[in-house]
């Protein structure tokens, strides 16, 4: 149970925040977000937060910069309203892919966003599956980078009629090996890696598959699906190498451009994605291969743990077959 706490939802995460509040047996606090004709944003809490611990829920999904500005303005409003502590729950951390200088004169925007959140007045940030876990090091305040891997693994174990003896978990590239290994450990399956190159963004050249996938059911896991080009190409490589069926699991479904059509026309049997980024009914109608699972309970337990000064690691207990209680 949480007390002396206010939970606010901004525009991108209202549905998710309502689910979280329901899990916590509480209600969302009232807040007003206004977007003016010239593009300026005004965020005004509609109730007192003086001396309270505040949790602000917002994914910085498209339009990313607009969502980010809502968060920064809201933090400033809460700080000026004398909130005791401001916790930013940002399930999808926009700009996380700009975490290094890949080419000369490029910015490191993930670092800039971290500094903006801190300067605005955030006391803690909670995210899910940062593109690079090292982004946590850009913050000088407590930062919890949760992972949806146990949740996704639990889905395949309990909802799909899959012979786990015939499953191989696959990383779509070398950078995602740790994530794929974690899922393979949870499901107790072998691991394979797609060795590919990207000559241009969202274009993939197949090189090889490291591991045995012939006749296997493959589960490809990644953190982000943007246009779907890279993910679908990796799945096609597996099919070409003899995989019987190919499933995919992704934490953040950005689904920009014609991603839905790309996935619908791909060899993917089913794509499981979390609700860190909301999907509209129209999007879901475009692709019947997508199944969405909620991170609401995971975030509710995290909020409860932060507020009651207990271990955040228990958030994973349910998905590792242990008892979970708020």
Greater confidence, 308 or 85? 85
For residues 217 and 249, membership in a common domain is answered with yes
Query: Beta 41-45 vs 205-210: how paired, if at all?
Result: unpaired
pLDDT, mean over the chain: 92
For residues 96 and 191, membership in a common domain is answered with no
Query: Average pLDDT, stretch 20-29?
Result: 96
Instruction: Using the predicted structure, report yes or no on whether residue 246 has a pLDDT greater than 70.
Output: yes
Q: What is the pLDDT of residue 287?
A: 93
Q: What is the pLDDT of residue 312?
A: 82
Instruction: Using the predicted structure, report yes or no on whether residue 242 has a pLDDT greater than 60.
Output: yes
The catalytic position among 19, 23, 196, 270 is: 196
For residues 182 and 138, membership in a common domain is answered with no
> What confidence tens digit (pLDDT) does each residue in 55-67 have?
999 999 999 999 9
Tell me how long the chain is. Answer: 326
CATH code of residue 40: 3.40.50.2020
How many domains does the chain contain in total?
A: 2
For residues 132 and 222, membership in a common domain is answered with no
Q: Which of 33-37, 91-95, 173-177 has the lowest mean pLDDT?
A: 173-177
Evaluate whether residue 33 is within a structural domain: yes
* CB atoms inside a 10 Å sphere around CB 231: 26
Q: What is the pLDDT of residue 283?
A: 86
For residues 165 and 135, membership in a common domain is answered with no
Query: Average pLDDT, stretch 60-84?
Result: 97
Q: What is the pLDDT of residue 323?
A: 47
Q: Give Rg (Cα) of the chain.
A: 20
Cα atoms found within 13 Å of the Cα of residue 52, Cβ hemisphere only: 19
* 196 catalytic per annotation: yes
Query: Average pLDDT, stretch 6-22?
Result: 97
Query: Average pLDDT, stretch 144-167?
Result: 91
Evaluate whether residue 134 is within a structural domain: yes
Query: Average pLDDT, stretch 293-313?
Result: 92
| % of the chain with per-residue pLDDT over 70 | 93
Evaluate whether residue 326 is within a structural domain: no
Evaluate whether residue 207 is within a structural domain: yes
For residues 206 and 280, membership in a common domain is answered with yes
For residues 206 and 316, membership in a common domain is answered with no
> What confidence tens digit (pLDDT) does each residue in 110-134 have?
999 999 999 999 999 999 999 988 9
Predicted confidence band of residue 10 (pLDDT cuts 50, 70, 90): very high
For residues 105 and 124, membership in a common domain is answered with yes
Distances (CA, A) of 144 to 11, 91, 127, 299, 311: 22, 11, 6, 11, 11
Q: Which of 42-46, 107-111, 138-142, 202-206 has the lowest mean pLDDT?
A: 202-206
| % of the chain with per-residue pLDDT over 90 | 80
Residue 252: give the domain boundaries. 149-293
Predicted confidence band of residue 282 (pLDDT cuts 50, 70, 90): confident
Instruction: Using the predicted structure, report yes or no on whether residue 204 has a pLDDT greater than 80.
Output: no
* CB atoms inside a 10 Å sphere around CB 217: 21
For residues 192 and 218, membership in a common domain is answered with yes
Cα atoms found within 13 Å of the Cα of residue 176, Cβ hemisphere only: 30
Instruction: Using the predicted structure, report yes or no on whether residue 107 has a pLDDT greater than 90.
Output: yes
Evaluate whether residue 283 is within a structural domain: yes
Instruction: Using the predicted structure, report yes or no on whether residue 326 has a pLDDT greater than 70.
Output: no
- Of 326, 322, 315, 15, the residue nearest 149 (C-alpha): 315
Q: Which of 90-94, 112-116, 203-207, 264-268 has the lowest mean pLDDT?
A: 203-207
Q: What is the pLDDT of residue 216?
A: 96
Q: What is the pLDDT of residue 325?
A: 47
For residues 122 and 233, membership in a common domain is answered with no
Evaluate whether residue 325 is within a structural domain: no
Q: What is the pLDDT of residue 285?
A: 86
For residues 228 and 271, membership in a common domain is answered with yes
Q: What is the pLDDT of residue 175?
A: 86
For residues 253 and 304, membership in a common domain is answered with no
Q: What is the pLDDT of residue 235?
A: 94
Evaluate whether residue 228 is within a structural domain: yes
């Amino acid at each position: 149970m949480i007390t002396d706490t206010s939970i606010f939802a901004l525009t991108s995460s209202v549905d998710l925040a309502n689910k979280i509040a329901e899990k916590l047996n509480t209600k969302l606090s009232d807040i007003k977000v206004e977007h003016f004709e010239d593009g300026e944003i005004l965020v005004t809490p509609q109730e007192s937060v003086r001396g309270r611990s505040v949790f602000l829920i917002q994914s910085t999904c498209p339009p990313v910069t607009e969502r980010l500005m809502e968060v920064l303005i809201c933090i400033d409003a809460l700080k000026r309203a004398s909130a005791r502590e401001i916790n930013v729950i940002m399930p999808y951390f926009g700009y996380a892919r700009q975490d290094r200088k890949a080419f000369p004169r490029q910015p490191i925007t993930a670092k800039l966003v971290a500094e903006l959140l801190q300067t605005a007045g955030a006391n803690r940030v909670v995210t899910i599956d940062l593109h690079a876990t090292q982004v946590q090091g850009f913050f000088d305040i407590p930062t919890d980078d949760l992972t949806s891997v146990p949740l996704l693994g639990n889905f395949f174990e309990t909802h799909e009629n899959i012979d786990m003896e015939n499953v191989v978990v696959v990383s779509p590239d070398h950078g995602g090996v740790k994530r794929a290994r974690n899922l393979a450990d949870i499901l107790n399956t072998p691991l394979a890696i797609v060795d590919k190159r990207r000559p241009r963004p969202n274009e993939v050249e197949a090189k090889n598959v490291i591991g045995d996938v012939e006749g296997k059911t493959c589960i490809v896991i990644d953190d982000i699906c943007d246009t779907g080009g890279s993910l679908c190409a990796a799945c096609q490589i597996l099919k070409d190498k003899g995989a019987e069926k190919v499933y995919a699991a992704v934490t953040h479904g950005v689904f920009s451009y014609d991603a839905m059509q790309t996935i619908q026309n791909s060899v993917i049997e089913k794509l499981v994605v979390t609700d860190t980024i909301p999907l509209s009914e129209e999007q879901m109608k475009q692709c019947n291969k997508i199944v969405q699972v909620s991170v609401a309970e995971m975030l509710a337990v995290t909020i409860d743990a932060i507020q009651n000064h207990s271990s955040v690691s228990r958030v994973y207990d349910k998905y590792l077959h242990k008892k979970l209680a708020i």
